[in-house]
Chains A and B, each alone.
Chain A
Amino acid sequence: MDFIIIAQMVVSGALMGLVYALIAYGFQLTFSTSKSINFGQGELVMLSAFFSLTLLDWGAPFWLMVPGGLLFGVVLGLAVERAGLRLALEQKSEGWILLTIIIGLLGFSAAENIWGRDDRPFPTPISSDAMQFFGVSITPLEISVAIGVFSLMGLIELFKRKTLLGKAFEAVSADRDAAELMGISATRTVMLSYGLSGLVAAMAGILVSPITTVGPTMASALILKAFSVAVVAGLDSGFGVVVVGIFLGALESLTSFYLGSGWREAPGLILLILALAVRPNGVFGKATIRKV
């Protein structure tokens, strides 16, 4: 009996952990090309979720809303790059840290003004009737989160390995100057990475909204966890964020079950401190995170 409860906690926690992994993966995408991350990434998740909800309000069918919401995320990612990163990176300054935080704050107040402060439900055609697997209950909605996370990360990894543009992305990550000598524009590659990280943020928003509801603060806890996952896994291992994301998600739900939900945030914090003390480059990572 006890075992089944533990299994249940692990499974539901792990599925949530995949969302942390997806957002952390977005951090990796931009860090690899430009050694920078968007500190307002949580607002991208939230704004994309609100925009997608608005598309539904306007009567868009669910399966049309998804690409619409994702496209919105890409546009936001590109906007952040243009407004917050481009100049700072050109001048080799660390100004992007402050700029992306400010852009995030702007996004937050914009959301409050446009959509209000209340949390709103996000309708979905995917069922949340539990199905039983060996005594553990899982909903199709939860399964859709896993499918969404793995298919998007899989597609982006395929893109990086199988297309020439993807190889150019890897080349810029490996050696920006040498990539430029091949005729690859580093500026455009950084844009591409921010577009992709916006895509990933929007996907995270669309996947969690039906479970958590949509509101201006919906992503604030999520983003901290994603950040912990990125730091613990290292900022260069896509495989690592999935493992750490699942681990953290499972650990959190076990903690809140046995110690009470007030302790839910504790594992992420402890993991982060441990990782910074023991393996500052991440358990799976090689790249330095000193600058972040």
Chain B
Amino acid sequence: MLVVENLYAGYGASKVLTGASLEVAQGRIVALIGANGAGKTTTMRAISGMLKPDKGRVLLDGKPVQGQDASRIARLGLAHAPEGRKVFGPLSTEDNLLLGAYSRLPLFFGFRARSIHDLERVYDLFPLLRERRLQAAGTLSGGEQQMLAIGRALMANPKVMLLDEPSMGLAPVIVQEVFNTIRRLKADGITLLLVEQFAKSALEVSDYAYVMERGRIVAEGAPAELLKDKRVLAAYLG
């Protein structure tokens, strides 16, 4: 569903990705783990078009999308829940969710009626968001904002979802909740690329995993195999 081939990207003179390749098959959860600053967020940004890759290919459902605008890649079915959540603070929780479905909805009238089904699905997944429907997203707690960011990405009914450090800065109980949510999405058959600091938990929920180091993939395999790899264990799962 998502194929990344030999990707190079960076910020001006600082080259971050130096030939990263990975693959996410339909209905699979794939973890991307690695130390801080390894280039995981940069990988996601280069996939979703927030950052234009210098070289390499990104195939979404078989079609090359590298170099296109983020908005176009999103309309093609890629939903990126970015690091730091980036909810629309002044807008209500529900407006944030509606905007998640922006590319599928009429622009002027009737968009709410058309999205009731999807809204209900997200509210069932995150009942707290239903309670906070009319509240400005900026006033939600960190955990609630993360739920909102995930819900907003789900509203797009994406082919592939990128989820960058959903547990960052959250209390341990909430982190557990985030992983429970991911398990439920997995049961629904979501296609997901997941970046996480909690590498062990990430490996538990995923079908396949890549280890990134200084802008390259240095190890990959089924979670069970990686958990046996002494090098990986020592570096990331200590």
Q: Which residues of A contact B (CB under 8 A)?
A: 163-165, 167-168, 170-171, 174-175, 177-187
CA distance A185 to B71 in the complex (A): 5
CB distance from A227 to the nearest CB of B (A): 25
Is B43's beta carbon under 8 Å from chain A?
no
A172 to B70, CA, bound (A): 13
Q: Does B90 contact A (CB under 8 A)?
A: yes
Distance in angstroms between the alpha carbons of A240 and B107 in the assembled complex: 28
Is residue B79 contacting chain A, with contact meaning CB distance below 8 A? yes
Give chain B residues whose Cβ lies under 8 Å from the Cβ of A183. 71-72, 74-75, 102-103, 156
Instruction: State the CA gap A183–B89 with chains docked (Å).
Output: 18
Interface residues of B (CB under 8 A from A): 48-50, 69-72, 74-75, 79-80, 82, 86-91, 95, 98-100, 102-103, 105-109, 111, 152, 156
Are A177 and B70 within 8 A (Cβ)?
yes
- Contacts A164-B106, A182-B99, A182-B100 given: A174-B111 contact, CB under 8 Å? no
- Which listed residue, A165, A171, A181, touches B74 by the CB 8 Å rule? A181
Give 23 CB contacts A-B under 8 Å. A163-B109, A164-B106, A164-B111, A165-B108, A167-B91, A167-B99, A168-B107, A170-B88, A171-B91, A174-B88, A174-B89, A180-B50, A180-B69, A180-B71, A181-B70, A181-B80, A181-B82, A182-B99, A183-B74, A184-B99, A185-B71, A185-B72, A186-B71
Say yes or no: A164-B107 contact (C-beta < 8 A), given A180-B71, A182-B100: yes
Chain B residues closer than 8 Å to A167, beta-carbon distance: 91, 95, 98-99
- Contact in complex: B99, A171 (CB < 8 Å): yes
The answer for the CA separation of A149 and B50 in the assembled complex, in Å, is 39
Residues of B within 8 A of A178 (CB): 82, 86-88
Residues of A within 8 A of B75 (CB): 183
In the bound assembly, the distance between CA atoms of A179 and B69 in angstroms comes to 12
A164 touches B71 (CB 8 A): no
Distance in angstroms from B107 CB to nearest chain A CB is 4
In the assembled complex, the Cα of A186 lies from the Cα of B72 at a distance in Å of 11
Complex interface: chain B residues within 8 A of A177 (CB): 50, 70, 82, 86
CB-contact partner of A184 in B86, B102, B111, under 8 A: B102
What is the CA–CA distance of A258 and B67 in the complex, to the nearest angstrom?
Answer: 64
Q: Which residue of A lies closest to B85 (CB)?
A: A178
A177 nearest in chain B by CB position:
B50
Q: Are A174 and B91 touching (Cβ within 8 A)?
A: yes
Q: Which of A174, A182, A186 contacts B102 (CB 8 A)?
A: A182
Complex interface: chain A residues within 8 A of B107 (CB):
163-165, 168
A182 — which chain B residues lie within 8 A by C-beta? Answer: 71, 74, 99-100, 102-103, 152, 156
CB distance from B166 to the nearest CB of A (A): 15
Best-surrounded residue of B69, B70, B87 (most CB of chain A within 10 A)? B70
CA distance A171 to B103 in the complex (A): 14
Contact A180 B89 (CB under 8 A): no
Q: Of A171, A180, A181, A184, which is in contact with the most chain B CB atoms at under 10 Å from its CB?
A: A181
The 6 residue pairs across chains A and B that have the minimum distance between CB atoms: A183-B103, A183-B74, A178-B86, A180-B70, A165-B107, A164-B111
User: How distant is A228 from chain B, measured CB to nearest CB, in Å?
Assistant: 26
- Distance in angstroms from A221 CB to nearest chain B CB is 34
Instruction: Check A171–B50 contact: CB distance below 8 A.
Output: no
How many angstroms between the C-alpha atoms of A164 and B108 in the bound complex? 6
Closest B residue to A161 using CB positions: B95
Give the residue name and chain of the B residue nearest to A175 (CB). Answer: B86
Which residues of the partner chain A approach B71 to less than 8 Å between Cβ atoms?
A: 179-186
User: Residue of A at shortest CB range from B110?
Assistant: A164
Q: A164-B105, A165-B108, A183-B71 are in contact. List 18 more A-B contacts (CB 8 A).
A: A163-B107, A163-B109, A163-B111, A164-B99, A167-B91, A167-B95, A167-B98, A168-B102, A171-B99, A177-B70, A178-B82, A180-B69, A181-B71, A181-B79, A183-B102, A183-B156, A185-B72, A186-B71
Can you name the residue of chain A whose Cβ is closest to the Cβ of B91?
A170
List residues of chain B with CB within 8 A of the CB of A186: 71
How far apart are A47's CB and chain B's nearest CB, in angstroms?
29
Of B99, B106, B156, the contact of A168 (CB 8 Å cutoff): B99
| A168 CB contacts on chain B under 8 angstroms | 99, 102, 107
Q: Which residue on chain B has the smallest CB distance to residue A163?
A: B108
Chain A residues in 8 Å Cβ range of B82: 177-178, 181
* Cα of A274 to Cα of B106 in the assembled complex, Å: 46
- Most B Cβ at <10 Å: residue of A163, A164, A171, A184: A164
A222 to B132, CA, bound (A): 44
Asked if residues B102 and A181 are in contact (CB atoms below 8 Å), the reply is no
Closest residue of chain B to A172 (Cβ to Cβ) is: B88
Which one of B74, B88, B105 has the highest number of Cβ atoms from chain A below 10 Å of its Cβ? B88
What residues of B have a CB within 8 angstroms of the CB of A164 in the complex? 98-99, 102, 105-108, 111
